[in-house]
């Protein structure tokens, strides 16, 4: 490919490692773990990364038990083990073993933070449809959705034209790592695979992680909104891949925060349960000069590589700091020592947001969106917040568990953020796969990138990189079939 997204991994105790995130690269080599030798902080859970794949040895398991801990999760394919009940001293001792690459204390560093998210104050949508007695409509023309004329985000990527010549993602499943989903919301009823959906999120008060929060209870509302951009019943709003299913893998708590272990477990679960596309409209910044932070990033890369090597495309929001990745400068200051995860990792398709200003210039980069070909691969509509014009935002389904739509299954929100650009791209992947069946993983990422619209007439562009996604162009491209 003609463009590279570069990412630098480096810790205080190690020289920097330069990884080129070019679309035509093969799987990354197993990373070198950067970690300090200081004592680990107290934590409810610790991640133990083995030196290679496999399960913990009998001697390691015995040491964990002797230290008062218990293994609560083990993934042989990635060589990762989650342990609860260890003291700081016991966890630090485990890190000294020759068969252990590193041990990391679990912390809540993953979050969602979108610049606009609230109740839609437009025409009273509750009068258009009612939840009572509703059953899914089956295959319909999504353009018949009551508010479709307001969904500029769908027409900008030519999703509406793609609906007419594709199966609209029928038979495809998009795994979403997020805050949960309202399975009874009228737009999503019948589109959530409840058999596969699960949760790795725990309440902040659950210090021993004994009872996972339900995937079908979305207090934050973020996961429901994101899901309705991917799929839906086309009642009031249309979705990019309306005949697809979503699988909710909950990794965020009721405050919209999540531990890094939850994200890792979520990716591994999706990979091992038939995912082709994973959407992650979440992230966190990690300090390149902090050895413990970079140890986490290295392990996260290990998990992403595990998914990549199995033909899975991970799509992630690039972030909402207005950061120019080419200079590492944002309106709030320098990010030169920061790495956005997971969007900044090798083999992750990072998505920025576009949005109009007063319903004009729909291809402009949203004022809040991160940009630059060193960190963003493609762009998709995410809404803009320059003014107070509601039409510049995007519309999504509202969860009845939120304070915005309490108890109502037929309400809608408006919002803006790269969180809402990322699922458009993930859904494009579902539409492409519904037509092809063989374009997966790296080939799917290449298809999305090479069929994107060149906003400035050049590719790569310093700001837009490959450009703005185009669903119709992708399904019509011979390279995507």
Handedness of CA 139, 140, 143, 144 (dihedral sign): negative
* Domain end (from 58, 87, 105): 105
For residue 70, the domain's CATH number is 3.30.70
pLDDT band for 282, please (50, 70, 90 cuts): very high
For residues 320 and 332, what is the distance between their CA atoms, to the nearest angstrom?
A: 11
Q: Do the domain assignments include residue 396?
A: yes
Residue 423 has pLDDT above 50, yes or no: yes
Worst-scoring range by mean pLDDT, 1-5, 404-408, 456-460, 461-465?
Answer: 1-5
DSSP letter string, 212-280? PPPTT--SS-HHHHHHHHH----SSS--SSTT-EEEEEE---TTSEEEHHHHHHHHHHHHHTT-SEEEE
pLDDT band for 209, please (50, 70, 90 cuts): low
82 and 218 belong to one structural domain: no
101 and 137 belong to one structural domain: no
For residues 474 and 452, what is the distance between their CA atoms, to the nearest angstrom?
A: 8
Mean pLDDT: which of 95-109, 114-128, 388-402, 463-477 is highest? 463-477
pLDDT at position 273 is 98
371 and 459 belong to one structural domain: yes
Q: Do the domain assignments include residue 60?
A: yes
Residue 121 has pLDDT above 70, yes or no: no
For residues 6 and 461, what is the distance between their CA atoms, to the nearest angstrom?
A: 15
149 and 169 belong to one structural domain: yes
316 and 419 belong to one structural domain: yes
Residue with tokens 């480096």: 10
Tens-digit pLDDT profile for residues 449-469:
999 999 999 899 999 999 999
Worst-scoring range by mean pLDDT, 46-60, 116-130, 136-150, 374-388?
Answer: 116-130
pLDDT at position 114 is 78
pLDDT at position 15 is 25
pLDDT band for 63, please (50, 70, 90 cuts): very high
pLDDT at position 320 is 95
Residue 23 has pLDDT above 80, yes or no: no
Count other C-beta atoms under 10 Å from residue 171's C-beta. Answer: 12
- % pLDDT > 70, the chain: 87
26 or 62, higher pLDDT: 62
Q: Do the domain assignments include residue 14?
A: no
Residue 480 has pLDDT above 80, yes or no: yes
What total number of domains does the chain contain? 2
* Average pLDDT of the chain to the nearest whole number: 88
Q: What is the DSSP letter of 465?
A: B
Q: In what order do the strands lie in the sheet with 378-381?
A: 198-199, 245-250, 173-178, 277-280, 313-317, 348-354, 378-381
Average confidence (pLDDT) over 232-254: 97
Residue 20 has pLDDT above 80, yes or no: no
Residue 180 has pLDDT above 90, yes or no: yes
pLDDT at position 119 is 65
* 103 and 92 Cβ atoms separated by less than 8 Å: yes
Whole-Å CA distances, 462 to 5, 186, 378, 444, 455: 11, 41, 12, 23, 11
pLDDT at position 35 is 56
Worst-scoring range by mean pLDDT, 92-106, 193-207, 220-234, 363-377?
Answer: 193-207
Nearest to 160 by CA among 186, 141, 188: 141
* Domain end (from 60, 81, 105): 105
Residue with tokens 């001293």: 89
274 and 258 belong to one structural domain: yes
165 and 231 belong to one structural domain: yes
Cβ-in-10-Å burial (0-12, 13-18, 19+) of 52 comes to exposed
Average confidence (pLDDT) over 60-67: 98
244 and 335 belong to one structural domain: yes
Tokens of 126: 């509750």
Strand partners, 198: 249
Count other C-beta atoms under 10 Å from residue 290's C-beta. Answer: 16
Worst-scoring range by mean pLDDT, 5-9, 89-93, 143-147, 154-158?
Answer: 5-9
pLDDT at position 205 is 78
For 10-20, b where at least 16 C-beta lie within 10 A, e where not — what string? Answer: bbeeeeebebe
Cβ-in-10-Å burial (0-12, 13-18, 19+) of 175 comes to buried
- % pLDDT > 90, the chain: 79
Residue-number span of the structural domain to which 74 is assigned? 45-105
For residues 382 and 234, what is the distance between their CA atoms, to the nearest angstrom?
A: 19
129 and 85 belong to one structural domain: no
pLDDT at position 137 is 46
The answer to whether the bond into 471 is cis (omega within 30° of 0) is no
**Helix 222-230, helix 422-436: angle, nearest 10:** 40
91 and 225 belong to one structural domain: no
Residue 393 has pLDDT above 50, yes or no: yes
Nearest to 338 by CA among 378, 301, 283, 391: 283
Residue 272 has pLDDT above 90, yes or no: yes
pLDDT at position 36 is 58
pLDDT at position 25 is 30
pLDDT at position 107 is 85
pLDDT at position 207 is 66
266 and 339 belong to one structural domain: yes
Q: Do the domain assignments include residue 92?
A: yes
166 and 197 belong to one structural domain: yes
For residue 182, the domain's CATH number is 3.40.50.200
* CA angle centred on 447, ends 353 and 375, rounded to 5°: 40
């Amino acid at each position: 490919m003609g463009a590279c997204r570069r990412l630098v991994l480096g810790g205080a105790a190690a020289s920097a490692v330069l990884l080129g995130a070019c679309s035509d690269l093969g799987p990354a080599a197993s990373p070198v773990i950067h970690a300090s030798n200081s004592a680990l902080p107290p934590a409810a859970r610790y991640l133990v990364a083995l030196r290679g794949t496999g399960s913990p040895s009998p001697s390691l398991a015995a040491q964990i038990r002797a230290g008062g801990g218990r293994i609560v999760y083990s993934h042989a394919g990635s060589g990762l083990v989650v342990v609860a009940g260890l003291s700081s001293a016991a966890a630090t001792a485990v890190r000294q073993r020759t068969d252990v690459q590193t041990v990391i204390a679990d912390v809540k560093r993953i979050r969602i933070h979108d610049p606009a998210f609230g109740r839609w104050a437009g025409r009273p949508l509750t009068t258009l449809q009612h939840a009572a007695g509703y059953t899914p409509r089956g295959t319909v023309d999504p353009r018949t959705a009551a508010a479709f004329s307001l969904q500029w985000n769908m027409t900008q990527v030519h999703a509406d034209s793609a609906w007419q010549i594709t199966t609209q993602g029928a038979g495809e499943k998009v795994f979403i790592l997020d805050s949960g989903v309202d399975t009874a919301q009228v737009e999503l009823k019948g589109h959530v695979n409840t058999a596969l959906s699960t949760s790795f999120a725990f309440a902040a008060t659950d210090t021993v992680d004994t009872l996972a929060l339900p995937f079908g209870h979305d207090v934050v509302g973020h996961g429901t909104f994101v899901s309705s951009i991917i799929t839906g019943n086309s009642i009031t709003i249309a979705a990019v891949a309306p005949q697809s299913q979503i699988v909710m893998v909950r990794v965020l708590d009721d405050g919209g925060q999540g531990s890094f272990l939850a994200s890792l477990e979520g990716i591994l679960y999706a990979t091992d349960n038939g995912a082709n596309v994973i959407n992650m409209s979440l992230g966190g910044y990690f300090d390149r000069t902090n050895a413990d932070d970079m140890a986490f990033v290295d392990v996260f890369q290990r998990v992403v590589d595990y998914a990549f090597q199995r033909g899975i495309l991970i799509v992630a929001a690039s972030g909402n700091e207005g950061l120019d990745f080419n200079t590492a400068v944002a309106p709030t200051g320098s990010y030169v020592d920061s790495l956005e995860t997971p969007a900044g990792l090798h083999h992750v398709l990072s998505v920025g947001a576009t949005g109009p200003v007063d319903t004009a210039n729909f291809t402009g980069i949203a004022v809040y969106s991160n940009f630059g070909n060193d960190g963003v691969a493609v762009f998709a509509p995410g809404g803009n917040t320059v003014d107070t014009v509601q039409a510049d935002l995007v519309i999504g389904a509202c969860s009845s568990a939120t304070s915005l739509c309490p108890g109502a299954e037929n309400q809608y929100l408006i919002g803006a953020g790269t969180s809402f650009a990322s699922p458009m791209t993930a859904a494009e992947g579902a539409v492409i796969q519904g037509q092809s069946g063989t374009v997966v993983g790296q080939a799917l990422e290449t298809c999305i990138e090479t069929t994107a619209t060149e906003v400035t007439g050049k590719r790569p562009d310093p700001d837009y990189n490959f450009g703005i996604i185009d669903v119709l162009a992708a399904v019509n491209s011979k390279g995507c079939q």
